[in-house]
Each structure stands twice: as structure tokens, then as C-alpha cells.
Structure 1
Amino acid sequence: MKSLVKKEFERGVSLPFVAFPKDGSVIQDSPKLTLILMDAEFEWTGTGPLRQHISEWTKQHGKSPRFYPGSLIWCLKKPGRDLREKVELWLAWKRVFAEVTEGTLGADFDRADRADIQSKVKDAEEAAKDEVWGGYRFAVIYDSREADGLKAIDLGAGHASSGETLCGRIIAALKSQALLNESVGAGYLERNWPPALKQSGAWPLASLRQSFLNGSLTRLIDPDSILRNKIVEFVGKGDLGLASGQKPDGTYDRVWFEEQIPSDEVTFESGVFLVTKAKAKALKAGMKPEPGAVVGPVPEPVVDEFKEREKEKEPSPGIKTRTLRLVGTVPPEIWSRLGTRIIPKLKSGSDLKIGVDFSVTVNAESARSIESDLRQIIEDLGLKGKIKIE
């Protein structure tokens, strides 16, 4: 039965997919929307121990709190034996057909009999597949407004279709209830700007991203990719601005507005901010000239003609370079500031190389879970193969 159910869910699946997990620790803590198929023996009634387990697995990854509870979609079967009985009937007809083909049941079956039995096998299989669609009718997601953090969605009666997939059906149900969107607009962000941040007009990207992952805002299939691309678009169009390197006086080291920015500038860190259009305009208008910037016309220097001719005779020395290395220990609490203050300065040179060497001591029981999370984060950042865990 598991094989049939899994195969039907895997057909055309467009999301990361986990089948029949034993507990929450085997499910990666990833920002990408993930479909989790539960075994048919776990029947969703809306109450009882199963709900408690799903709630715990949604909030915890092993013994560590999940960063992205809103990315999980649990697929659960309704109560009843219909699926098991139809699968058993299908398997029974398969055995009959195999025995007839092998001659175990004798040689009294002609071609028409075999065709009839084969037809019954196919009909029973289709009925079993249909029951997978009808039986797995609940999608359970994280909702911080619920007492236990879970919201169940009844998908209704379903029927197997060659033009639709179970994954697509679940995505469509989430979209119909405004729980999932393909993208977001600048207006949506402005309407949902946190009240505590409205006066400042600056929303840390780390907080913005988390709002899409903890159920506060709509779900996105791949929030990191979608938000990064949309922010680049918003800044280019002048709908919103981007700022980094906040100073004590409320200004920033760098502000982007109505200009094209590379997507790698959009990093989901607390030191990088999405700013409102009004805030971005004000920051741009009040920005001080960079040190060393030329203000006004510069008069041409008066050069002694003889000295100038003598200089022309001298060979031009080659451009000398020097390599600077920054080595030391960085406190974790200022790591994000390091990225927004030092790296932009280093980019002014050439042949920039950046490496990392993190070390942490953890409980032996939770080490495997933390390592799994770290590997997923490294993969999400596109650094798989570049950073290794020892």
C-alpha cells in the first residue's frame, strides 16, 4: 500500500517531498515549501495524540526549534478502511492474474478469460489510486493564531486525473484560501508593514523573510528566491528602497533606490533593510558626499614646463599592489555588521577571497540534527561543495 500511495504522490510533484517520516527530526528545516506524506495508518481526526505529534514536529526539529515551521505541509488520510480494502482487492486480482499466467490455477483459462482478469486488475488499481486521492483529503499547516499552531485544510473529495497531480491539488487549495502565492507585490508589503516599524520605515530583511516562513504572511513556494528577485525589481522601479549599514543617527552606509542592484546585495540579514519609498527618498536627499568625493570644478594644476618634460623622460613605474589579510576572531553578535561594513570596502580591491572557519560545541544527542540543518542551510545558500562540515 505504501508503494502505491507514494508513487501517486510522487507523480508530477513540484515541491521537496518527504514520505512516511518516523519523526520530525528526519524532515529538513528548510525555507522551501515541503510536502510531507504521512503513513496511511496515521488518520487525521483533528484531535488526539496524532495532532500533538504533528504540532511538536512542526515546531521542533529534533530537540532544536524550527526556524521555518511555515514551510511544512502535512498530508494526512481521513479515518476509515476504504483505502486498505481497495488496495487489498487490487493485490488479490494481481495474484490471480499472475497465477493464471503461470498456469498455477490450471489451463482452463482462454485468452478472453485472461483479458477479463487483466481488465479487473487495471480497474482495481484505478479504484485504489482514486481512493488515495479521496482518502488523503487533509493538508495540515502551521498557523501561529491557532492554540497548538496547526491549521487543517479539508481538500474535499478527489479523483485521480491524468491532468492533475496531488501536489498540484494541495497547492491549488492553499492558493484558494490565500495561504500561498506565487509572488508578492510592493503594495502587499506596505499593507503588512509591522506597526512597530512604520515610523522608522525600515524593515530588516531577516525579519521580513521570517514573516513569510512563520505563517505571519502568505506562504511562498521558494521565499528566498522570490523575495530576492522581487526586491531587486521594487528597488529598480522605485516602489521601495534597500539600505545597509545603519548608523547611530539613523542614516545608512549605503542606500539603493530607483537603480539596478545585483541580487547578491539582497541578503536576509538584520543589518540589511527594506525601506519605504518615502524613507528611501529622504535618505537619498540627505546623503552626505562620500569622503574624498569631488565637489564642484577642480582647477587645472600649474605645472613647470621644464619639470614636466623631465618627467616625460623618466620611465613610468609599474603599478605596485599589496595584499591585505584580515585575520581574527569575530563575536557572533556582530557577524551581520561585518558583512555590511567590511565586505563592501574589500570589494573596492581585486582578487577578493573570503573563507570561514566556524567552531561550536553542541550536545552529542542533538549534533546530528544540527549538522543536518547546517547542510540544508549551506545548500539553500548555494554553497554546497564550497563549505564542508567536519
Structure 2
Amino acid sequence: MSAETAQACSNNDAGVAGNRLAQIDAEYWLAANERTTSGSVSDDPAYRRLRDALAFYTALVHSGGWQSLPAGPSLKPGMTHDQVGGLRRRLNLTRDLPAGDQGSTLFDAELEAAVRRFQSRNGLDVDGIVGRETRAMLNVPADIRAAAIAQSLCRYPELVAKQSGTSIIVNVPGAKLRFFRDGELIFSSRVIVGRADWPTPLISDAISAIELNPYWNIPPRIARQEVIPRIIRDPEYLRSQGIRVLSLGEAKPRELDPAQIDWTSVGGGALPFRLRQDPGPRNAMGLVKFRLNNPHHIFLHDTSARQLFDNAKRNLSHGCVRVQGALDLAKLILEARSDLPPNGLEQALEGDAPVVVRLRAPIPVHLVVISAWVDEDGTVNFRNDPTRDTAQKSCIASINTIAGNNLSGRQCDS
């Protein structure tokens, strides 16, 4: 396999210059990939849909891809503009817009529906308007899109292995969670993941316990950067949010009087106290926390801001994963893996004290990157990968494994 193929599989961001996919032989790549892919994976319908998508997008690459839309005003339904013809041709190439009058400069209802379809499958706010973000996604080159699909194919065998037993899979770019029991999907939901400046790490861990009515022990970085500035602006902030100031280094922490602390003098070193939010409707953890054990202090939890799950773009957290329907997920886990009696969850939530329920056996959790996938109806979905650099190793390893077959004497440079 060529170095261009390896680079294409490891680079799936619109900003990556060079290392394009234009020279990839899609049939050779797929044949090579499947030489090291089990029959159960290569026959998987989702895998085959990705195969077909790679062939389609690679064909677009070989035919010249699509022209970028130049900078210009937002294109809106009902308007007439010279760029509308180019928009029509762009959306027709990716089957978002049926064949028709590609030269028309009128932004009609059919074109609006095509824009909405494109926005939906690219994780954008669906408003039918070609603004700055939609224009940027339309201008991602065809070879970068093909590379994202190739990367998903690289990762697919590992993903299938992870979900073959009982496990939770979180696709970070897709902001979706899936819970498998004995290989069967029994729960799926939206999630909120880390911001671009506070990304969710790609880790494998396990849920060892579930905490109901949890405290939120506010991490020092969040306390320093976000909470303390709010305290300085509003002396009533701690009380209004149910946040207490506790002593450090004592077997039984003492509650400190926030009025006795000079908040403006708190520097950039270690905090001499810790901040803890009480359980309740304001608690950032919501009603349930899924305990993990990792050096990043990352875990899954409910949230008090459930309206944010309606957002198309859900990279909003400080790295932890907020789960829509967290109580439903907790109930499924507790029923199978704990000694909690029937209605035990509901009874625990009736109070306001934290309750920790340890699991008889841990539930594996995998935070992964799948930036391209194909729905059952054939819709090809893309998401920008906010953790591209840390996500490359597994894909490069897969490519090198394929190259180890020495097909046609070609090798892969990682």
C-alpha cells in the first residue's frame, strides 16, 4: 500500500494540506483491507455501506471532485444570486439535490430541502441557509471526505470487537452513545462531549459504580477559570448554586466561610480548598453519575441542562460525557449488574443524599472516533474530528497490518 493511502487514512480534517486521496486505487485498497478483516465484519451491512460510500467518493475524486463556493453573502431561500448555480451543482454531485436545472440562480424550495439534508448529515444546525459554517462544510474537498470514510473502514473491525460483548461505545465526533448487551444494541442516545479547547480524551475504561444524587467536586481548572471569576462578580453565586467551600487535607473536611476568603488573591497554583456542589436540580451532574477510573477524571453523567441535547453541535462540555436519558441507562445497568432491589433507583432519588451502588461486574466504556458512517437508508454522515491527532495511531496500525501482506510488493510509510 502506498504512503498516500496511509496519509489519507490518517488525515480527515478540512484544514489538512496535501496528502490527498487522488491517487488511491479504491478497489486495491478495499481488497487489501479485507485481507485482514474477518468475514463476519466484511459481511456486516454497516461495513458494506461504508465500502460503497468509499467507492462513490473515490469516483468523485477521480472525476475532479467539486468546486469550492467562493466567499459571499449567506444564501437564503427565495433569493436570486449568481452563486446559487454553483451551489446546485455541488449538492447534485453528492446526491443531496436531484438532477435538474443546474444553472438556475433561484434558491427555490427544492434547493432549500437539499441544503437541509446536507446540513443534517454533516452535523450542522438545520436552517436551510448557506451561512459561514455550511459554506465551509460544502467546501471540504472530496478527497478529504473519502479519507474519512477510509479511516472509518480502518477502525471498523476494532469497533465490532468492542461492541461484541457488553459495553458502552461513545462516538465523540458524532456525539452519540450506544449500549450493547451480549452484542445486541439495547440503548442509544445523544451525548454532549468536550469543547474544542477542552476535548474528550479517547480512552477505554469501565463503569465500576453508579452514583445517584451525586455531589459535583468541581475540578481545580474549572474552579479557577470559570467559578471563581463568577464568585468575584457575584458574592451570592456560591449560595445560589448550592456550592460549598471545603477544607483540604483533613479526614473530615470542614465547611469554610466563603466570606473569609479573598477570592481576588487566589493565584494560579494549587487551590487551598475545594469546591463541591450539593445534589439537587442545579447540580451539573444531574441525577446520576457513572463512575470511571482514569487519570483524566472523565466520566459519564446526567446534566441539569438537558435542553442542550437538542443542539446539532454538542461539543459543549469540559471533557466529560453528558448522557441524554442517563436515568434510563442507569436502570438498564443496575437491573443486570447490581443488587439494588426493584424500585431501588426510584427510592434513592426520592431523597437528596448521595447513594453509591457498586456493580457486581464492571461495564466497559470506549470513547472512540468515527467521523464517517452510513445510515441504513444510505445517507452518508460526516463529522469533523476534534481529536484527529490522537486518533491516528490505530488507523495507521491497521494500514500497516494490511501492508504486511505485501500485496503487489507495496509497503506503507507511517
Instruction: Give the shorter-chain TM-score range.
Output: under 0.3
Larger radius of gyration: 1
> TM-score by structure 2 length?
0.23
Q: Which has the higher contact order (CA 8 A, sep 6+)?
A: 2
As a proportion of its length, which structure holds more helix?
Answer: 1
Higher share in strand: 2
- TM-score, normalised relative to structure 1: 0.24
